[in-house]
Amino acid sequence: MVFITKADEHGVKTVRHIKGGLNPISMHDLEFTNPHIGEVAKIGLIVAVVALTEAIAVGRSFAGIKGYRLDGNKEMVAIGFMNVLGSFTSCYTAT
């Protein structure tokens, strides 16, 4: 759409080049002194439960289609482990 409408000529910012490779380590950017940390933790917990539920539902759908059994506990451990590792490099674990 940007190309067709020439939106970049009218002030719309576009991404020209994305560097390849892993994201840099971002652990040093963590701050635990924010006065809103309690609220952020509550929201994060809710989002984590919803994301985990969604991931297990998708996994079970594929397991049903392909005819194998999915162990929910192993799925939760794997997603949790990868989220912890991914958070050090600003990554998000997909289902």
Question: In this structure, are residues 23 and 89 in contact, taking their beta carbons and an 8 Å threshold?
Answer: yes
| pLDDT the model gives residue 39 | 93
What is the tens place of the pLDDT at every residue in 65-81?
Answer: 999 888 888 888 888 88
Q: What are the tens digits of pLDDT across the range 16-42?
A: 788 888 777 777 877 888 889 899 999
Which one has a higher pLDDT value, 8 or 23? 8
| Residue 79, in any domain of the structure | yes
Residue 79 domain boundaries? 25-95
Rounded Cα distance, 57 and 72, in Å: 10
Question: Does any domain span residue 4?
Answer: no
The answer to whether residue 41 sits within a structural domain is: yes
Q: What integer pLDDT is reported at residue 76 of this predicted model?
A: 84
Whether 32 is covered by a domain: the verdict is yes
What integer pLDDT is reported at residue 95 of this predicted model? 62
**pTM of the complete model:** 0.56
User: Does 17 map to a domain?
Assistant: no
Residues 57-62 have a mean pLDDT of 88
User: What is the C-alpha to C-alpha distance for residues 3 and 22, in angstroms, rounded to an integer?
Assistant: 29
DSSP 3-state helix, strand, coil percentages of the chain (rounded to 5)?
60, 0, 40
Q: How many domains does the chain have?
A: 1
Q: Is residue 89, in this structure, part of any structural domain at all?
A: yes
| 2 belongs to a structural domain | no
